Amino acid sequence: MKSAPFYITTPIYYVNDKPHIGHAYTTILADVLSRYHRLAGAPTYFLTGTDEHGQKVQRAADKAGISPQQHADATVVHFQNLWKRLEITNDDFIRTTEKRHTKIVQACLQDLYDRGEIYKSEYDGWYDVTSETFVTEKDIPEGKTPEEMPNIVRIKEANYFFKMSAYQQWLIDYIKDHPSFIQPEHRRNETLGFLRKPLQDLCISRPKSRLAWGIELPFDKDYVCYVWFDALVNYISAVGYKTDDAMYEKWWPHCTHLVGKDILTTHTVYWPTMLKALGTVQPKRIFAHGWWLSGDTKMSKSLGNVVNPMDMIDRYGVDAFRYFLMAEMILGQDANFSEGAFIRRYNADLANDLGNLLSRVTNMIRRFCDGKVPALPDGELDRESSEVRDAALAAAHKCFNFVEDMRIDLALTEIINAVKRVNKYFEVMQPWSLAKKDDKTDLHTCLYVAAEALRILSSLLQPVMPEKMNALRGALGLREPCKAEDLQKFGIFPSGSEVSEPGPLFPRIEKKDAPAASEKAAPAKSVPAKPAPATAVEGVIEYGDFSKVQLRVATVLSAEKVEGADKLLRLQVQIGDTPRQIVAGIAQHYSPEEVVGKTIVVVANLKPAKIRGVESNGMLLAASVGDKLRLVTVDGELPPGGVVK
Ligand code: MSP
Residue 227 near residue 102, CB atoms below 8 Å:
no
Contacts of 21 (CB under 8 A, 6+ apart): 292, 299, 306, 307, 308, 309, 337
Q: How far is CA 554 from CA 18, 604, 620, 643, in A?
A: 52, 9, 9, 10
Confidence tier at 295 by pLDDT (50, 70, 90)? confident
Measuring from atom 6 of ligand 1, which residue has the nearest CA?
232
At residue 544, the pLDDT reads: 66
Residue 320 near residue 351, CB atoms below 8 Å:
no
Q: How many angstroms is it from 295 CA to the middle of ligand 1?
A: 19
Confidence tier at 637 by pLDDT (50, 70, 90)? low
Query: Do 342 and 283 reside in the same domain of the chain?
Result: no
Residue 164 phi/psi, 5° resolution?
-65, -35
Residue 106 lies in a domain: yes
292 lines ligand 1 (CB under 6 A): yes
**Nearest-angstrom CA–CA distance, 460 and 364:** 23
Residue 531 lies in a domain: no
Query: Do 355 and 273 reside in the same domain of the chain?
Result: no
Query: Do 119 and 235 reside in the same domain of the chain?
Result: yes
- Kind and range of the H or E element at 251? helix 245-251
Contacts of 80 (CB under 8 A, 6+ apart): 93
Q: Which of 8, 21, 23 to mutate to test the pocket of ligand 1 (most atoms within 8 A of CB)?
A: 23
Q: What is residue 618's DSSP assignment?
A: S
Write the burial class of residue 538 (CB in 10 Å: 0-12 exposed, 13-18 middle, 19+ buried): exposed
Mean pLDDT of all residues in 378-386: 95
54 lines ligand 1 (CB under 6 A): no
Query: Do 373 and 249 reside in the same domain of the chain?
Result: no
Q: Which conformational region is residue 641 in: left (phi greater than 0), alpha (psi within -120 to 50 degrees), or beta?
A: left
Helices (H), 329-485: 339-345, 356-368, 383-404, 408-429, 431-434, 441-461, 466-475
Query: Do 443 and 548 reside in the same domain of the chain?
Result: no
89 lines ligand 1 (CB under 6 A): no
Half-sphere exposure for 355 (CA within 13 Å, toward CB) = 27
**Helix, coil or strand: residue 196:** coil
15 lines ligand 1 (CB under 6 A): no
Q: Which of 291, 308, 336 to mutate to test the pocket of ligand 1 (most atoms within 8 A of CB)?
A: 291
Query: Do 69 and 207 reside in the same domain of the chain?
Result: yes
299 lines ligand 1 (CB under 6 A): yes
Residue 316 lies in a domain: no
Query: Do 128 and 70 reside in the same domain of the chain?
Result: yes
25 lines ligand 1 (CB under 6 A): yes
At residue 574, the pLDDT reads: 84
447 lines ligand 1 (CB under 6 A): no
**Nearest-angstrom CA–CA distance, 356 and 371:** 18
CA atoms 93, 403, 348, 454: torsion sign: negative
Is the per-residue pLDDT at 518 higher than 70? Answer: no
> SS3 breakdown of the chain: % helix, strand, coil, rounded to 5?
45, 20, 35
Q: How many angstroms is it from 55 CA to the middle of ligand 1?
A: 16
Query: Do 112 and 200 reside in the same domain of the chain?
Result: yes
**Nearest-angstrom CA–CA distance, 549 and 615:** 20
Contacts of 579 (CB under 8 A, 6+ apart): 430, 432, 433, 557, 572, 573
At residue 519, the pLDDT reads: 31
Is the per-residue pLDDT at 596 higher than 90? Answer: no
Query: Do 279 and 131 reside in the same domain of the chain?
Result: yes
Residue 233 near residue 261, CB atoms below 8 Å:
no
227 lines ligand 1 (CB under 6 A): no
Contacts of 466 (CB under 8 A, 6+ apart): 35, 87, 319
Measuring from atom 13 of ligand 1, which residue has the nearest CA?
13
Is the per-residue pLDDT at 636 higher than 70? Answer: no
**Nearest-angstrom CA–CA distance, 204 and 206:** 7
Mean pLDDT of all residues in 220-239: 97
232 lines ligand 1 (CB under 6 A): yes
565 lines ligand 1 (CB under 6 A): no
CA-nearest of 271, 173, 272 to 230 is 271
Q: Which of 28, 51, 227, 232 to mutate to test the pocket of ligand 1 (most atoms within 8 A of CB)?
A: 51
Q: How far is CA 426 from CA 384, 432, 443, in A?
A: 10, 9, 11
At residue 208, the pLDDT reads: 96
At residue 533, the pLDDT reads: 38
Range of the domain at 612: 542-631
At residue 538, the pLDDT reads: 62
- For the stretch 300-358, pLDDT in tens is 766 777 777 778 888 899 999 999 999 999 999 999 888 889 999 999 999 999 999 99
Q: Which of 17, 256, 261, 263 to mutate to test the pocket of ligand 1 (most atoms within 8 A of CB)?
A: 263
Write the burial class of residue 624 (CB in 10 Å: 0-12 exposed, 13-18 middle, 19+ buried): exposed
Q: What is the percent of the chain with per-residue pLDDT over 90, rounded to a whole number?
A: 67
Residue 615 lies in a domain: yes
> Of 448, 471, 488, which closes a domain?
488
265 lines ligand 1 (CB under 6 A): no
Sheet bearing 205-207, strands edge to edge: 205-207, 220-225, 216-217
271 lines ligand 1 (CB under 6 A): no
**Nearest-angstrom CA–CA distance, 192 and 186:** 10
Residue 326 near residue 28, CB atoms below 8 Å:
yes
- For the stretch 145-173, pLDDT in tens is 888 888 898 989 999 999 999 999 999 99
Residue 425 near residue 384, CB atoms below 8 Å:
yes
Is the per-residue pLDDT at 388 higher than 80? Answer: yes
267 lines ligand 1 (CB under 6 A): no
At residue 511, the pLDDT reads: 66
Query: Do 32 and 177 reside in the same domain of the chain?
Result: yes
Q: How many angstroms is it from 13 CA to the middle of ligand 1?
A: 7
Query: Do 207 and 340 reside in the same domain of the chain?
Result: no
At residue 2, the pLDDT reads: 57
Which atom of ligand 1 sits closest to the CA of residue 231? 6
At residue 359, the pLDDT reads: 94
Number of neighbours of residue 614 by Cβ within 10 angstroms? 15
Q: What CATH number does residue 13 fall under?
A: 3.40.50.620
307 lines ligand 1 (CB under 6 A): no
Quote the number of domains for the chain: 3
Residue 109 near residue 223, CB atoms below 8 Å:
no
Whole-angstrom Cα Rg for the chain = 31
> Of 251, 270, 289, which closes a domain?
289
Mean pLDDT of all residues in 82-111: 98
17 lines ligand 1 (CB under 6 A): no
> Of 447, 462, 488, which closes a domain?
488
More confidently predicted of 643 and 260: 260
12 lines ligand 1 (CB under 6 A): yes
Residue 408 near residue 402, CB atoms below 8 Å:
yes
Q: How many angstroms is it from 517 CA to the middle of ligand 1?
A: 32
Looking at 46-55, 255-264, 400-409, 594-603, which range is the least confident one?
594-603
- Kind and range of the H or E element at 224? strand 220-225
Which atom of ligand 1 sits closest to the CA of residue 11? 5
Q: How many angstroms is it from 10 CA to the middle of ligand 1?
A: 9
**Helix, coil or strand: residue 48:** strand
Q: How many angstroms is it from 300 CA to the middle of ligand 1?
A: 10
- For the stretch 172-192, pLDDT in tens is 999 999 999 999 999 999 999
Q: What is residue 633's DSSP assignment?
A: B
260 lines ligand 1 (CB under 6 A): yes
Query: Do 348 and 285 reside in the same domain of the chain?
Result: no
Number of neighbours of residue 413 by Cβ within 10 angstroms? 17
At residue 525, the pLDDT reads: 28
**Nearest-angstrom CA–CA distance, 343 and 341:** 5
23 lines ligand 1 (CB under 6 A): yes
Q: Which of 76, 226, 261, 262 to mutate to test the pocket of ligand 1 (most atoms within 8 A of CB)?
A: 262
Q: How many angstroms is it from 22 CA to the middle of ligand 1?
A: 6
Contacts 24+ apart (CB under 8 A), 180-183: 180/284, 180/285, 181/282, 181/284, 181/285, 181/286, 182/268, 182/285, 182/286, 182/288, 183/285, 183/286, 183/287, 183/288, 183/332, 183/406
263 lines ligand 1 (CB under 6 A): yes
Residue 320 lies in a domain: no
Q: How many angstroms is it from 152 CA to the middle of ligand 1?
A: 23
At residue 400, the pLDDT reads: 95
Residue 515 lies in a domain: no
**Nearest-angstrom CA–CA distance, 88 and 30:** 9
Residue 645 lies in a domain: no
Q: Output the pTM of the full model.
A: 0.81
Residue 310 lies in a domain: no
- For the stretch 416-467, pLDDT in tens is 999 999 999 999 999 999 999 999 999 999 999 999 999 999 999 999 999 9
Q: How many angstroms is it from 283 CA to the middle of ligand 1?
A: 19
**Nearest-angstrom CA–CA distance, 188 and 201:** 21
**Nearest-angstrom CA–CA distance, 246 and 24:** 31
Q: What CATH number does residue 560 fall under?
A: 2.40.50.140
392 lines ligand 1 (CB under 6 A): no
Measuring from atom 18 of ligand 1, which residue has the nearest CA?
260
335 lines ligand 1 (CB under 6 A): no
- For the stretch 27-41, pLDDT in tens is 999 999 999 999 999
Distance from chain centroid for Cα 558? 29
At residue 18, the pLDDT reads: 87
